[in-house]
Structure 1
């Protein structure tokens, strides 16, 4: 569309505000607060996912789905500023939180970047309507943060590929529809040069989804076992053995989450975090609002909140304008991970005795102990902060790369546990 055909941001904002307030329910106080807290029953979780699909369809019907997605795939063809305005207006109201990541970013983003025209026209409209929820089959039990060391194999069989292996730490795979899969297609080249990306339906013969119970009872993470799963070559993303090119962009979109123009994340923060404003509620319910130490902790949380928003804004502008390299997204990933862990620690310190033992009547102080035990999730999920430090040092600052014994070595010859040899 030409510039003159695009609705101005303030008119769009007002239209979004009116629609949100007329169609969506306000969120209860404290909704989405906490770090991977144990949810309700499976039935209640499935009902919540069904409601999110419904809301996403409402977005689509009202012209608010895929705000910055191309119009030819069902999006609105608007700008990142329009998406930002919508995210600001939806703060405090229900929205399809579990669909934003990884369905919209990185999965739909990868499809837009590398998918064939047929793949985009088949899947992007379905994603925008809430008909397809996607997960990323990326991490593996044996690989940790070394994504390129994937052992899940894909072997060519005529017009198909046969996949075998295991993926892990997949959030919500048990209720999702499609997976974006990184697999090894060549063992005789260095690890980064023998990977290929595929897409596949999750619920099919040959795929077993096992749920992982965390120490607080949360079962959001899953592990998948793929046994002789047949995938047509038409469901390959990118070129054979060039999966690292796709993977690099894939991980860029994962780090970009809070700055991505493809996702809706309320201005007051994503679900599953401890927000700085919540620290005041914890101090209040702990009876510590007048405690000078508690006020210092609240002040630190507020400072981190202000710096986070300022940094994310600067990164967003720099990346969109091209003044910052794409790899600068790792700066935001690093800072938000470390800050989330610190803010969770502040909440633990503010809660006092309720950090160790609490009841449902303890208000905002309840569950702060569990949040503290799981605080490092923010530094692991979505790519570890250690990897983000490497990206910042090597690819943003241009510092020398760490020595690696497997560099330039055929992956088949890289030493690893006997049970993991290909």
Structure 2
């Protein structure tokens, strides 16, 4: 344990915040509204900058506040992370590392990985040396994650993997990915899956970036053709991958809903960051004094306040056991609804200016609308979130599934 880590473990939240405030002022670059930092997830320079900023945080003893000390973190309560998030609001932070590296992948490894995986990978991401991503969705899979067809077969002491994944966030910038594949097709679909930790630059992995309708290209498709991995790459148990995937989805829903204690700073995944200040937006189009516009902005601000309190309540209830882990879908679903309201309100205020080139801020409103629906898909679709809440939180009967209990190789796939 370093001297800084030992100090952090013995001080109050207020003392920790004061020390962080002093350190940030001396070491971290302040945000300049006139020259905002690189923001695009598809920008290689932004990822390099994020690694450098994370290295600064680690050297100062403020990385991985809620991660255990034995893996490079500080081992502190979420209250310390919340206090730190307040202090960093005016500083440039490696926010693109929050999702999926810290809040999803590293958190999943913390719960399900081997000691070697946790010591090596979690420590590396906290030092700013590595980026982790998730490799789950498939080109023909839709929302049925357990119905995946990417397969791993035994060949002596190794596993040989063939198949494809898609919509992998920031995979081009990653060092390792959590890859869910089928290792036994003779059992029902949830029972024959295994999670692997894959070096992205391995032979047998081909990565292509996806051009989206808003011009961004931070999502990727990956093709696996003879990728070979050893047993040390297995996360959890062979054919026990659904348990790992379920834990990953738990962390993803909390991350998307802003309920993860493993995020460092207020992530740019918060939708108000992408829609801009609605009051300033109204002023820029000359509508700040319009009572109707004021009412719309007020609705958004009120909904944000409700969301933030809901995140605190549900997150605390999951930690103390009064709500089950599936309750993360509550904040995930509400965050989606708030984002829709924010984006739609910004679009209504901007009006035609939202599609006028040359008006950079207003054009951004129009571009954000093009990707509005993505918030309804992360961590599973809104419809899936409602099913999870109904079945696993409220205890309602499960929906009928024709393939439940049927060996995967007997289930019809893409056939009439």
1:117 pairs, out of 96, 115, 118, with 115
Q: Deviations over 1:138-187 (max 9, x none)?
A: 11111111111111101112221111111111111112110001000111
C-alpha distance 144-95 of structure 1, shift in aligned 2 (>3 A): same
Deviation at 1:274?
A: 3.0
Tell me if structure 2 keeps the 8 A contact 1:170–1:223.
Answer: yes
Deviation at 1:272?
A: 6.3
Measure, in 1, the Cα distance between the counterparts of 2:307 and 2:23: 29
Give the length in aligned residue pairs.
Answer: 409
Deviation at 1:367?
A: 2.1
Aligned to 1:409: 406
Unaligned ranges ≥5, structure 1:
none
Aligned to 2:261: 261
Unaligned ranges ≥5, structure 2:
none
Aligned to 1:335: 334
Q: Deviations over 1:86-121 (max 9, x none)?
A: 112111321111111111121111111111111112
Please report the TM-score for the alignment, with normalisation by the length of structure 2. Answer: 0.93
The yes-or-no answer on 1:29 pairing with 2:33 is yes
Helix, strand or coil for the counterpart of 1:293?
helix
Aligned to 2:377: 380
Helix, strand or coil for the counterpart of 1:259?
coil
C-alpha distance 152-32 of structure 1, shift in aligned 2 (>3 A): farther
1:18 pairs, out of 13, 16, 22, with 22
Measure, in 2, the Cα distance between the counterparts of 1:72 and 1:236: 21
Moved more, 178-187 or 150-159: 150-159
Measure, in 1, the Cα distance between the counterparts of 2:34 and 2:381: 27
C-alpha distance 307-406 of structure 1, shift in aligned 2 (>3 A): same
The yes-or-no answer on 1:365 pairing with 2:362 is yes
C-alpha distance 413-32 of structure 1, shift in aligned 2 (>3 A): farther
Measure, in 2, the Cα distance between the counterparts of 1:286 and 1:92: 27
RMSD between aligned residues: 2.3
Helix, strand or coil for the counterpart of 2:228?
strand
Matches within 5 A, 1:383-402: 383-402=380-399
Higher relative contact order (CA 8 A, sep 6+): 1
Aligned to 2:287: 288
Q: Deviations over 1:312-354 (max 9, x none)?
A: 1111211122211111000000000121122100000000221
Tell me if structure 2 keeps the 8 A contact 1:161–1:232.
Answer: yes
Aligned to 1:302: 301
Deviation at 1:22?
A: 2.0
Measure, in 1, the Cα distance between the counterparts of 2:415 and 2:158: 29
Tell me if structure 2 keeps the 8 A contact 1:331–1:388.
Answer: yes
Tell me if structure 2 keeps the 8 A contact 1:56–1:130.
Answer: yes
Tell me if structure 2 keeps the 8 A contact 1:195–1:241.
Answer: yes
Deviation at 1:368?
A: 1.5
Helix, strand or coil for the counterpart of 1:223?
strand
Helix, strand or coil for the counterpart of 1:407?
coil
Measure, in 2, the Cα distance between the counterparts of 1:175 and 1:287: 41
Measure, in 2, the Cα distance between the counterparts of 1:30 and 1:320: 41
C-alpha distance 31-91 of structure 1, shift in aligned 2 (>3 A): farther
Deviation at 1:277?
A: 6.7
Q: Deviations over 1:219-261 (max 9, x none)?
A: 1111000111001111101111111111111100111112222
Measure, in 2, the Cα distance between the counterparts of 1:364 and 1:304: 23
Aligned to 1:137: 135
Aligned to 2:167: 169
Moved more, 3-12 or 152-161: 3-12
Please report the TM-score for the alignment, with normalisation by the length of structure 1. Answer: 0.92
Deviation at 1:271?
A: 4.2
Measure, in 2, the Cα distance between the counterparts of 1:38 and 1:58: 19
